Amino acid sequence: MSGQSVSETRDARLAVVVLAAGQGTRMKSAHAKVLHHLGGKPLIRHVLDACAPLGAQHTVVVVGHQAEAVEGACGGYGAGFALQRQQRGTGHAVGVASDAKLRGFTGDVVIVYGDVPLLETATLERLVRRHREQGALLSLLTTMVEDPFGYGRIVRNDAGWLEAIVEERDATAEQKPIREVNPGIYCVQSGFLAEALAGLTPNNAQGELYLTDIVATAVGRGGPLVTEAVDPHEVAGINSRAELARLEAVLRQKVVALHMAAGVTFLDPATAYVDPSVTIGADTVIGPGVHLHGRTTIGRDCTLEGDAYVTDCELADGVRLRPMVVLAEAKIGSGAIIGPFAQLRPGAVLHEDVHIGNFVEVKKSEIGAGTKANHLAYLGDATIGRASNIGAGTITCNYDGFAKHRTVIGDRVQIGSDSQLVAPVTIGDDAYVATGTTVRHDVEPGALAFNPKPDQRRAGWVEGFRKRKAPAKNL
């Protein structure tokens, strides 16, 4: 690529390089920094999500520490990987990516860090657009921070033009107070990038190859250079657990604000935890302490009263979640009421107007419209029809110690309280199961199933019992 001019490479082709090789020692973790989660997914996936709409011909992730795990976290983006075996600085990392995946590439190269999770696609698009409009060799984002410690300072000349970027360890006493800093996000013409990388030298306190040194090279070439200002939150990197928590709060506020702007009510926005991937319909009301994660979708006019944990679920319109419910990988029809203190485990499918009440657990079961299980029941591996009623204390005995078996309950069935349905078993439409019955065999439609348990009495038994026990109680 060496020796190519801007005009020779400005062909609207784009490559993206994501720097994700570092360990992140300040995280004090056995896991690579970019694998830590924010908003329900690894940091690296936030960055790849921001870059994906750019339509780059090549996306290269530079890996190093826990390379295999980082590569695994990048699945689904069509990214290639370049291994940086030794951590010799950001300039070296980009050089590794160029040598491994971008030989012969002509166009522009966007360079981002894998630990900047709030970066937005629109910002990158704006950077690339201005870079191309100005015919720039190099363009970069800058931001203003209250405390610039740890950042490369943006050094400008008297005319306000970018002159250099000076890293923290190399900054002079006059440069350290500069509040305009470099978050490390660039768009660079590929031919110039190759030349500049080849000229990097480790003339700094760390003995590393700094990518920021290519700015001075661009200045020496006479530019042109472009800087684009951006909000500091958007380009904040994560180096510690405290910074991770701080950006989690920023992301939460942003996500909740977007939902409120779209017509969703949050009774206590500060206690809502909503992943960016969650969708919520208008006029839904979210109470305090609600956690919505993964691919969860919530329809219109739903009410989540509070303290709900919902992961990868689908709620139709008008669903009501009462307090203290836990739902995972469940599908809930319109008008259903769940809780309080109920659990829907993976594979639960509830049709419209189903009621699942307090201390009821449903797992891998389909429940027909209008059916109710309002108290203290376990429904596992079951198919239940429409308009049936499951009494308190009912359980489907689905596991024989080796395998799971299904229970089938028809329409308009009445299951009495404290009944045990020993699978595999089928209970036909309109059947009744008497209170306290253990059902081991199929029940035909319209039949009554019961276990004879005649009442027995011992007259005067209580008086004798109390006399026998009283001396022991007084010891």
355 catalytic? Reply is no
Cα(231)–Cα(32) distance, integer angstroms: 26
Q: Which amino acid is at 142?
A: T
- The 8 Å CB, 24+ separation contacts for 459-466 are none
CA-to-CA distance for 442 and 407, rounded, in angstroms? Answer: 10
Query: CA 179 to CA 198: how far, in whole Å?
Result: 30
HEC assignment per residue over 327-374: EECCEECCCCEECCCCEECCCCEECCCCEEEECCEEECCEECCCCEEE
DSSP assignment of 147-167, as one string? --TTSEEEEE-TTS-EEEEE-
The DSSP line for 369-407 is TT-EEEES-EEESEEE-TT-EE-TT-EEE-B-SS-B--E
Q: Is the dihedral of CA 28, 34, 38, 41 positive or negative?
A: negative
The tokens describing 140, both together, are 């970069």
Instruction: Say which residue the tokens 């079951």 belong to.
Output: 382
Q: Which residues pair with 239 in a beta bridge?
A: none
Are the C-beta atoms of residues 44 and 73 closer than 8 Å to each other?
yes
Among 31, 233, 375, 405, the active-site one is 375
Distance from C-alpha of 11 to C-alpha of 102, rounded to nearest angstrom = 15
Contact 321, 341 (CB under 8 A): no
**Helices 190-198/90-101 angle, 10° precision:** 120
Which DSSP symbol is given to 415? E
Neighbours of 217 (CB within 10 A): 18
At 197, list the tokens. Answer: 């990388």
The partner residues of 160 in beta bridges, in order of sequence, read: none
Tokens for 1, please give them.
């690529």
Q: Which two tokens stand for residue 79?
A: 């990214």
The b/e string for 160-172 (b: 16+ C-beta within 10 A; e otherwise) is eebbbbbbeebbe
Report how far residue 201's alpha carbon sits from residue 17's, in angstroms, rounded to the nearest whole number. 21
Q: Which residues are part of the catalytic machinery?
A: 375
